[in-house]
Chains A and B, each alone.
Chain A
Amino acid sequence: MSVYKKIMIALLMVMFMAPAAHSSQIRSQLTQESTLEQILKRGVIRVGMSTFVPWAMQNKEGEFIGFEIDVATRLAQDMGVRVEFIPTRWSGIIPALLTGKFDVIIGGMGIRPDRNLKVNFSIPYDHTGMSMVAHQEKAKGFSSLEDFNRSDVTVAARLGTTAAAAAGDFLPKASLRLFDDEAQAVQELLNGRVHAVVASAPLPAFQALMHPNRLFVPFEGTFTKEPIGFAVRKGDPDTLNFFDNWIRFVQADGWLEKRKKYWFETRDWEDQIK
């Protein structure tokens, strides 16, 4: 074996070894930099959310309550950290996640392909659908989705929500007015400026119950079905894996189902917000 050959073999060995060493380095770096690790180091999970009845609302003391709030609180408890809620305008919530304002969006976010191009979603922990509430005089006799798909009809929805997208998809002929929160969209309806409001169930039904002599539910049930998931930044498999399995865990022990029933099928929480 000549010296030359020895050098060649040594070189080849180094060339094959280096990537192996390099990749294990990258792996440990990924683990170190994952959002999960950051949360544990900080001792606080920062949750981006926005108010949606009954996912997240403020009670009389100004504290957040709701289905999402229960989910995020239990998640923090199971991780052994504190939870910090960061209320954000819904229309800007994905950019806020991407720029690191919080660790995860737990805010009833519908899993949609266009959103998924920018963020990663956990497995669904809930399903929702769109429904409608209409103005009794303006939308007199309207009883199906098709009745609203006319050029002289105006509907209101919340900017950046799946409701706004659904209104655009299902009611292409109607004109759409978009507001930054649902309260404004409902006010618009109460003022008789629009025929109907499109929003995630059960808000439209609740509104019809609250204003029985001005509003009504034109048709029962929902006209879309959407999976709801946590949204996290891309390129972070550890965090996503943890959230997925945490959802499976609370689904299996029945806790998630119980909370869902409490918030969506009972009105026991009403006196907390009034």
Chain B
Amino acid sequence: MIPSLIRKFHKVILSRNLWDIIKFLIILGIIYWIISTGSDKLNYNWQWYRVKQFLYTFDQGSFTVGPLLQGLWVTLKITFFSLFLALALGLTTSIFRLSNSMVAGLVARTYVEVIRNTPLLIQLLFNYFVLSPILGISPFMTAVLTLSLFEGAYASEIIRAGIQSIDKGQWEAAQSSGLNRMQTYFYIIIPQAYRFLVPPLTNQSVSLVKDSALVSTIAIYDLTMQGQVIISNTFLTFEIWFTVAAIYLAVALIITLVVSILEKRLQGKKVPVKTF
């Protein structure tokens, strides 16, 4: 009885999980210590109690959304629209790049290289101050388009790699059963490739959430911009940036979690076989 307990105890102690948890707690402690001593040195006057009103106010049974949550809503809207556009762009671009047409390949290549080799901030400012007055696009649409173009270029590379990972035999089999190129993509290749695509594309959507913070530079009232405005009025620098960072972290983690649940669901399923 007793020896077996001791053995079990040893097992738990020596198990990597517990050791990992301990390491994690130690690191958390160190980070907390650094921040708290740092702020002591700065004589920073923490006023966490002032933060709540910027998230929401609950007054006499009526609930009002504060500027930070309004900003979060704008951030989510931008992310949502951009994600769809980026995926559509990415898929189109990767198909262009893999096509036999010289022109389509060149267009796709140029687009991807230009976007990937210039900073997003510069693209955003260029599109906002130079292109959008000419084309007459609203600031919000400018932000969505810029982010879609940017993330779409990365998504196209991911999708291309996924498509190329499918065995050549699949293409040949599809062609011999009389499917044309587009049918082959949609019935044979993409249904098999999407499993490889889900994890990197999830990463990309998390990047999109974080990159959307840059739209604050073109005066769109997203989460970051609302944070900046609150700080410029109240100087609650540390508290507001911590809160904003925590909100971004929560959004990113939720996306990751939802996708991992979806993945588990999908893994049990077989790829539906179309009969023609």
User: Is B129 interfacial (CB 8 A cutoff)?
Assistant: yes
Q: Are B235 and A99 in contact (CB under 8 A)?
A: no
Q: For the complex, would chain A's binding face be called helix, strand, loop or mixed by DSSP majority?
A: mixed
Q: Are B232 and A159 in contact (CB under 8 A)?
A: yes
A78 to chain B, nearest CB (A): 29
User: Is A187 interfacial (CB 8 A cutoff)?
Assistant: yes
- Mask for A89-111, Cβ within 8 A of B = 1, else 0? 00110110011100000000000
- For chain A, residues 108 to 146, give those with C-beta under 8 angstroms from any C-beta of chain B: 114-115, 117-118
CA distance A95 to B235 in the complex (A): 7
User: Is A179 interfacial (CB 8 A cutoff)?
Assistant: yes
- A156-B219, A177-B219 are known contacts. Are A98 and B229 too (CB-CB below 8 A)? no
- Mask for B176-188, Cβ within 8 A of A = 1, else 0? 0000000000000
Of the candidates A98, A114, A184, A188, the one whose C-beta lies within 8 Å of that of B233 is A114
User: Is A178 interfacial (CB 8 A cutoff)?
Assistant: yes
User: Is B191 interfacial (CB 8 A cutoff)?
Assistant: no
CA distance A139 to B233 in the complex (A): 28
Chain B residues with CB under 8 Å of A95's CB are 231, 235, 237
User: Is A193 interfacial (CB 8 A cutoff)?
Assistant: yes
Chain B residues with CB under 8 Å of A164's CB are 232
User: Is B15 interfacial (CB 8 A cutoff)?
Assistant: no
Q: Are A180 and B233 in contact (CB under 8 A)?
A: no
Chain A residues with CB under 8 Å of B235's CB are 94-95, 114-115, 117-118
Q: Are B42 and A91 in contact (CB under 8 A)?
A: no
Q: Are B42 and A98 in contact (CB under 8 A)?
A: yes
Closest-by-CB residue of B relative to A190 is B133
Chain A residues with CB under 8 Å of B133's CB are 191-193
Chain B residues with CB under 8 Å of A180's CB are 217
Q: For the side of the interface on A, what is the size category?
A: 20 to 34
Q: For the complex, would chain B's binding face be called helix, strand, loop or mixed by DSSP majority?
A: helix
Chain B residues with CB under 8 Å of A100's CB are 42
Q: For the side of the interface on B, what is the size category?
A: 10 to 19
User: Is B46 interfacial (CB 8 A cutoff)?
Assistant: no
Chain A residues with CB under 8 Å of B81's CB are none
Chain B residues with CB under 8 Å of A177's CB are 219
User: Is B60 interfacial (CB 8 A cutoff)?
Assistant: no
CA distance A117 to B235 in the complex (A): 10
CA distance A99 to B234 in the complex (A): 16
CA distance A160 to B133 in the complex (A): 26
User: Is B105 interfacial (CB 8 A cutoff)?
Assistant: no
CA distance A138 to B114 in the complex (A): 36
Chain B residues with CB under 8 Å of A165's CB are 233
B217 to chain A, nearest CB (A): 6
B244 to chain A, nearest CB (A): 14
Chain B residues with CB under 8 Å of A188's CB are 129, 219
Q: Are B42 and A99 in contact (CB under 8 A)?
A: yes
Besides the contacts A95-B237, A115-B235, what 15 more A-B pairs have beta carbons closer than 8 Å?
A91-B228, A91-B232, A92-B237, A99-B42, A114-B235, A159-B228, A160-B232, A164-B232, A178-B219, A178-B225, A178-B229, A179-B217, A180-B217, A184-B129, A235-B43
Instruction: Enumerate chain A interface residues (CB-CB to B < 8 A).
Output: 91-92, 94-95, 98-100, 114-115, 117-118, 156, 159-160, 164-165, 177-180, 184, 187-188, 191-193, 235
- Sampled A-B contacts (10; CB under 8 Å): A95-B231, A159-B229, A160-B231, A178-B219, A178-B225, A179-B218, A179-B219, A180-B217, A193-B133, A235-B43
